[in-house]
Structure 1
Amino acid sequence: MSKRVLLVEDEPNIIEAIRFILSRDGWAVDTHVDGASAVDKVLAGPPDVLVLDVMLPGKSGFDILKELRAEPATVDLPVLMLTAKGQGRDRELAERYGVTCFMTKPFANAEVLDTVNALKAGALGQV
């Protein structure tokens, strides 16, 4: 069974860390760095799991999530939102827009891996 994740993140160090831990577990990891074109990238071939940063150039992760939830093809796509902004209002906004899971940076590698695997398996509900 293939496991494909799309990571929408603009920090090179975070991209490499997540790519390393997920690919080591058998995930095919695609990356995208631009918020403005992220929705088109997802819709062109929805992954099994989307890992989405909040602060991106061109468009915020919140806006991307809101647009994806309005599309029939991605209304149920498992989305892990990563952010350095861990304030309660950020989590509330992510929940309002339909995030599946919310995680703050810095994160533990094992936590990201376990969460992505659980999202693929359907073992995690909404936040």
Structure 2
Amino acid sequence: MQLDILMIEDEPNIAEAVRFILSREGWRVDLHPDGAGGIEAIRQQRPRLVILDLMLPNRSGTEILCDLRAAGDADLAATPVLMLTARGQAAEAGAQADAVLTKPFDNEDLRAMVRRMLA
């Protein structure tokens, strides 16, 4: 069974909360804790959606997103990405992401955005 969502997020409380919220909707969610190895995790797991934090240790979300979009694999490069960011960083995050959600976010906004992106 294909993984629905891979979330790359270094804040454990946020990552677990998002996994809980989205798992209750029936989506399979896996977590990766930081930017190091993020693109490799995407390549190995081939999720239907990536939720990516902008500010990550070891490698930024922007760098991971650029690597993903430049991947030699067209299917992988087309993977939709929802970027999570702090207020004031949305313009930077939105450059290549398919959607941006600013922290803190409403749970229903998260669910609605993921539903739309996985439709």
2:54 maps to 54
Shift of 1:34: 1.8
Q: TM-score, normalising length from structure 2? A: 0.90
- 1:39 matched to 2:39: yes
Inter-partner Cα distance in structure 2 for 1:83 and 1:62: 11
Partner SS for 2:77 = coil
2:115 aligns with one of 114, 117, 124:
117
Q: TM-score, normalised by structure 1?
A: 0.85
Matches within 5 A, 1:1-127: 4-71=4-71, 72=73, 73-84=75-86, 86-87=87-88, 90-96=89-95, 98-121=96-119
Flag structure 1 segments of 5+ consecutive residues without an equivalent: 122-127
**Would the alpha carbon gap of residues 38 and 3 (structure 1) be closer, same or farther in structure 2, given more than 3 Å must change?**
closer
How many equivalent pairs are there?
Answer: 117
Q: Percent identity?
A: 44
RMSD: 1.6
Q: Which amino acid aligns with 1:10?
A: D
